A and B are shown apart, each in its own frame.
Chain A
Amino acid sequence: MSSLYLLASLAGREIVIPATHVESVVKVHDIVPVPAVSPQICGLFALRSRVLTLVDCCCFVEGHKCGYQPGQLAIVATIDGHHYGLLVDAVHDIITSEEEPIAATGDLGQGWSTIGNEMVSIDDGRLVLVMDITNVVNPSQPLAA
């Protein structure tokens, strides 16, 4: 069974996001920072009349705030009725994979295991991490503020 994925890159690695979760990809220009909140929350930004929470995905990997560059791309997703923008380095393509995702059993490194714990083979058979958006926005292992 084939599934659609969005191929993006985060902290220098390729990742895929199941296309069913992706509403759109937008450029973020102006954010309102949120004080006193976990470091992965970059701030709030407006997309038309909606307020989106911008998540600094890189923060999980690097262990510290990476911040954002004006015009950086964010993947828009809605989880439990809340709207989020997930900051990524770049968005490359929409791809199809015929394979089912498989569990990434090896050690991914502390930060990466928050981003996802499944991988899927794409194109030429190379394996990439599948982002688990729900866990990214509500991490089971929260970062210390």
Chain B
Amino acid sequence: MDDLQQEFILETRETLEALSGELVIWEAEPDHGEHLDSIFRFFHTVKGSAGFLSLPRFEKLAHEAENALSSLRESKLPITSQLVSAILALVDRISELTAALESGTPVDDGDDSALIDALKAAWEATYNAADGAELADKENSSGADSSDQDVSRSTEVAPEQKLRTIRVPLALLDRMMNSVSDMVLARNEVARKLRELDAAGDLDSAFERLSTCVGDLRDSIGRTRMQRMEGIFAPLPRIVRDLASDLGKKAEIVCKGQDVELDREMIEMIRDPLVHIIRNAIDHGIESPEDRQAAGKPVTGKLEIDASQSGNQILITIKDDGAGIDTTYLGEKAVAARIYDRSEINAMSKTALLNLIFAPGISTADKVTAISGRGVGMDVVRANIERVGGAIDLHNSPGEGLKIVIRVPLTLTIISCLMFQSGDHQFALPQSAVREITSPNNGQVRVDHVGGGSFAVIRDDYLPLVRLDRVLDIEQTSEQDGSAINGPDEMQNMVLIVIDVHGGSRFALAVDAVTDHEDLVVRPGAPAIMTTGIFAGTTLPDNGRPMLLLDPAGVAKSAGVAKDIKHIGAADNIEQNDNDQPEAQDQPVSLLVFHDCAHRKRAIVLDIIERVEDCPSDALAFSAGQLRLTKGDKTYPVFGIERPPQSRQVKMLQLTDGTTTLFYAIAGIADIYRTTSQAIVRGALPSDDNSGVSAIIVADGEQVEMLDSHWLFSQIPGTAIPQGDGRQPLCLLADQDDGWTRRMLEPLITKAGYTISYDVSAAHKADIIVVADDKASEYSNGNNVIRLRQHPQPESGKDSIYRYDRIGLIGALQASYQTRKQGDAA
């Protein structure tokens, strides 16, 4: 009996979750018989089971709802929202009763008759509202309709091809997971022992097989912990509906990606933030129906939520078509809340202003409602998401809506970590926070002691230096804990880990040694450990010794690096201003000095180098007059060598100007040289303007050719024609049906930097019109019309260009555009 009841509770709860979405859709599309059917089925099932288990309250409620729905189905009356609300109320009561039944707590013996009366009243109202004539109409056709319905229902009854599943208690799954983890540890220990033994080959291969099996088992057990996003999405339509109707707004939600799977614990962690964002979107984002009408938007606001998997991350996008965020207003609020003063707000970028919604104590709601507006919220949302190793981004279009993108790792538990040593302690850091690992004795890095603090000077960055052993008060091993505290050599043997704290501040963490890199299963630590704020969790690496995971933000806070929340977004500037800049007007410049493939010493500005990499020589090929490198499905121009080299690999600098990427082949990197912009300007000029060298400077007593990066990029076709004002001119090609225009002319003009249009009706919008000579009569002899002729010989009296005269054509395009621009200006 107990088992049966348990089964009933589980089944009812699950159906309820799925149903709440169904009900809302049904309200929106009342004619959709399917939704009505599934709701009807739910009540029917509850009624049946409740009767069997003798649960009279369930039975009564379900019975009434079933009655109402069935007469609704027969009469074909239009559904009113009053009726939907009444039915929702019944669903809610059933859900309350289910919860009470489950926990064994007694429910107040409240009378359900009020609810049932409300349903009846709603039903009456619906019935009366229906026009008599309409009713007769419906009744006439009802015979045919109901037969339709029967057909549709009979098709539904046909057994669906479903995945066969069984219910397994969570506790059992967790126990399995633990056993498998134990097994993995045992395997590792056996592996260690085997290595010590130098065991015979066949034992090794047998163990290898066992080891693979254990690995597979761990993977499949891991998968049992995954849950579909459906679980989170199902209640959302109901939340949206209820909230919107409370606020007198209209809104609907579209969910996509229900099939995406996520770790069960992760689902629990993101459920609340997601609901909070949805609530915000309806409360602040979606405007009132009147405002929406005035803005020319559909009266019903639209929310879109989309989940997708990308690598080992899940992307959840929440988009609304509401008002977006008014950043100016947000700034005012921040001033009013005395979080920032006006000058700080004025100095902020749009993005920084937008990110103010994550600052504690700021709300965009004018009045506090039950739903939101207390100014606690988005900061908590962000904290929650970041706690599980995720990130949240805003894309704001004022007047058009807000898009929020949440990225969370696939599983809560496995984090890619860097492991390192400080004193006798081993710690781990999430790899995602690590920007760079360097050492004070590699020449590029200097440690300066300023007052009682230290700064790492890495290339041009001044970074606060945090000694982990000091933060954690760890005793140093004997030889390092010498007398020379803060002495010049003291830090020489340490390793600096440059850490990016989310939100902008960056610091260098000094540790004794970096030991390893591993994917670790991280669990939250005991409260006593988590309250220190320095640790993010505990983990058990393969060696079986527990390890603590550091929380980068916590370390920064504890070391006083991120003392002031105001520095977020402007951290770099502030760090620089805090320190004396030796030559304020003269910008420091870092150069990468290298040997090019002809073994000349050359230098290039470090900033434009995206990365240095070894590329296989067979990815290089000479095509279309240029040596190119194949990478993925793209090709990039290669400079610095004439033909693919004999060697198997070639070292390349990947250069970028922000939009275009090219590669420059080099023989090897020599050094990084720090100089100033003035020194480069003062350098001797090359004798040949087209040599690709912009200046000759003297670095450490040697002549070095400065590579002219501007010249390099100007060698790439397509970037060679500067259009000046940043806008792509619109070029109308008037012969839209002509194959030659589409296949030959369009690519040429697009490459030259023009936007193509074929919309002849919008000719007045075009900056330039290009048309075949024989059709040109349709266009006035405006100076922005370029006529193309078929034959090389010009016809007398007609100003036209031969259609294969590229230089002439491009020239004419530019000339027409310039004239038109001047005409506009005048």
Which among A30, A33, A36, A46 is the interface contact of B532 at CB below 8 angstroms? A36
Q: Which of A34, A36, A37, A49 contacts B178 (CB 8 A)?
A: A49
Contact status A33-B540, CB under 8 Å: no
A34 close to B182 (CB less than 8 A): no
B548: interface (CB < 8 Å):
yes
B808 interfacial by beta-carbon distance below 8 Å: no
| Complex partner residue of B540 from A41, A51, A53, A82, CB under 8 angstroms | A51
- Chain A, 15-73, CB within 8 A of any chain B CB: 30, 32-38, 40-41, 44-46, 48-51, 53
B529, A30: Cβ atoms closer than 8 Å: no
- Least CB distance from A6 to B in Å reads 21
Verify A49–B526 contact, CB threshold 8 A: no
State the CA gap A38–B558 with chains docked (Å): 15
Q: What is the bound-complex CA distance between A133 and B249, given in angstroms?
A: 51
Q: Does B364 contact A (CB under 8 A)?
A: no
Shortest beta-carbon distance from A140 to chain B in Å: 12
Q: Say if the beta carbon of B791 comes within 8 Å of chain A.
A: no
Tell me, yes or no, whether A5 is within 8 Å of chain B by CB: no
Is B167 close to A, CB under 8 A? no
Of the residues B474, B524, B527, B545, contact of A30 by C-beta under 8 Å: B545
Size of the chain B interface, CB-CB below 8 angstroms: 30
Query: A28–B390 Cα gap in the complex (Å)?
Result: 36
Q: Within the complex, what minimum Cβ distance (angstroms) separates A69 from chain B?
A: 19
Q: Nearest chain-B residue to A38 (Cβ)?
A: B528
CB within 8 Å for A44 and B548 given contacts A36-B471, A36-B473, A51-B540: yes
* Residue B547 CB within 8 A of the other chain: yes
Contact A37 B532 (CB under 8 A): yes
Cβ–Cβ contact A46 & B527, under 8 A: no
With most chain B CB atoms within 10 A of its CB, the pick from A32, A34, A84 is A34
Q: Please encode chain B, from 465 to 501, with 1 for each CB lying within 8 Å of some chain A CB and 0 for all others.
A: 0000001111000000000000000000000000000
Question: Is B471's CB under 8 angstroms from A82's CB?
Answer: no
Chain A, residue nearest B422 (CB): A35
Please give, as numbers and ranges, the residues of chain A lying within 8 Å of B318 by CB-CB distance: none
- Tell me if A50 and B529 are in contact (CB < 8 A): no
Inter-chain contact B425/A50, CB cutoff 8 Å: no
- Chain A 62-96, CB-CB to B under 8 Å as 1, else 0, gives 00000000000000000010101000000000000
Task: Give the complex CA separation of A50 and B175 in angstroms.
Answer: 12
Please name all residues of chain A whose beta carbon is closer than 8 Å to the beta carbon of B425 when the two chains form the complex.
32-33, 35
- Per-residue A-contact encoding for B527-539, CB less than 8 Å = 1, 0 else: 1110010110011
Residues of chain A lying within 8 A (CB to CB) of residue B546 = 32, 44-46, 51
The number of residue pairs between A and B whose CB atoms lie closer than 8 Å in the complex comes to 70
Cross-chain contact B185 with A37 (CB below 8 angstroms): no
Is B527 a contact partner of A138 (Cβ separation < 8 A)?
Answer: yes
Given contacts A44-B548, A49-B185, contact A137 B526 (CB under 8 A): yes
Q: Which residue of A lies closest to B538 (CB)?
A: A51
Contact B529 A48 (CB under 8 A): no
**With A30-B545, A32-B546, A138-B528 as contacts: A48 and B185 at CB distance below 8 Å:** yes
**Contact size range, A:** 20 to 34
Closest to B547 in A: A32
Whether A35 pairs with B527 at a CB distance below 8 angstroms is: no
Cβ–Cβ contact A32 & B526, under 8 A:
no
Which of B525, B528, B539, B548 has most chain A Cβ within 10 Å?
A: B528
Q: Which one of A33, A46, A48, A53 contacts B528 once the chains associate, using CB atoms below 8 Å?
A: A53
Q: Which residues of B contact A30 (CB under 8 A)?
A: 545
Q: Beyond A33-B425, A44-B546, A46-B545, is A53–B178 a contact (Cβ under 8 Å)?
A: no
Against A, the Cβ 8 Å flags (1 = close, 0 = not) of B178-205 are 1001101100000000000000000000
Task: Give every chain B residue within 8 A of A137 (Cβ-Cβ).
Answer: 526-528
**Cβ contact within 8 Å between B544 and A46:** yes
Q: Binary interface profile of B, 439-480, with partner A (CB < 8 Å = 1, else 0)?
A: 000000000000000000000000000000001111000000
Question: Chain B residues near A44 (CB, 8 Å)?
Answer: 538, 546, 548
B-side contacts of A53, CB under 8 Å = 525-526, 528-529
Are A37 and B544 closer than 8 Å at their CB atoms?
A: no
Q: Which A residue's beta carbon lies closest to that of B537?
A: A51
- Asked if residues B527 and A82 are in contact (CB atoms below 8 Å), the reply is yes
Question: In whole Å, how far is A21's beta carbon from the nearest beta carbon of chain B?
Answer: 16
CA distance A84 to B184 in the complex (A): 22
Q: Most A CB atoms within 10 A — which of B182, B471, B529, B547?
A: B529
Contact A82 B472 (CB under 8 A): no
Q: How far is the CA of A32 from the CA of B182 in the complex (A)?
A: 19
B526 touches A48 (CB 8 A): no
Tell me, in angstroms, the Cα distance from A113 to B558 when the chains sit together. Answer: 32
Q: Is B523 an interface residue (CB 8 A)?
A: yes
Q: What 1/0 mask marks residues of chain B from 383 to 423 whose CB sits below 8 Å from any chain A CB? A: 00000000000000000000000000000000000000000
Q: Are B471 and A84 in contact (CB under 8 A)?
A: no
Q: Is the CB of B545 within 8 A of A32?
A: yes
In the complex, what residues of B have CB within 8 A of residue A36's CB? 471-473, 532, 534, 558
Could you say which of A33, A45, A51, A84 contacts B523, with CB atoms under 8 Å apart?
A51
Are A37 and B545 closer than 8 Å at their CB atoms? no
Question: Which chain B residue lies CB-closest to A33?
Answer: B425
Contact of A82 among B178, B474, B526, B547 (CB under 8 A): B526
> How far, in whole Å, are A51 and B524 apart by their CA atoms in the complex?
10
B523 contacts across to A, CB distance below 8 A? 51
Q: Are B540 and A46 in contact (CB under 8 A)?
A: yes
Contacts of B426 in A (CB 8 A): 32
List residues of chain A with CB within 8 A of the CB of B182. Answer: 48-49
Kindly state the separation between the CA atoms of A40 and B540 in the bound complex, as whole angstroms: 22
Closest to B543 in A: A46
Residue picked from B426, B473, B539, B548, most chain A C-beta under 10 Å: B548
Quote the shortest CB–CB distance from B536 to chain A (angstroms).
13
List 14 other contacts, CB 8 Å, given A36-B534, A51-B538: A32-B548, A33-B425, A34-B529, A35-B473, A36-B473, A36-B558, A37-B529, A44-B546, A44-B548, A46-B545, A48-B182, A51-B546, A82-B524, A137-B526
A-B contact pairs, 16 of them (CB 8 A): A32-B425, A32-B545, A34-B529, A34-B548, A35-B474, A36-B471, A37-B529, A38-B528, A46-B540, A49-B184, A50-B178, A51-B525, A51-B539, A51-B546, A53-B526, A82-B527
Which residues of A are in contact with B by a Cβ distance under 8 Å?
30, 32-38, 40-41, 44-46, 48-51, 53, 80, 82, 84, 137-138
Taking Cβ atoms with an 8 Å cutoff, the residues of B that contact A are: 178, 181-182, 184-185, 425-426, 471-474, 523-529, 532, 534-535, 538-540, 544-548, 558
Across the A-B interface, give the 5 residue pairs with the lowest CB-CB distance, nearest first.
Answer: A49-B181, A35-B472, A44-B546, A53-B526, A48-B182
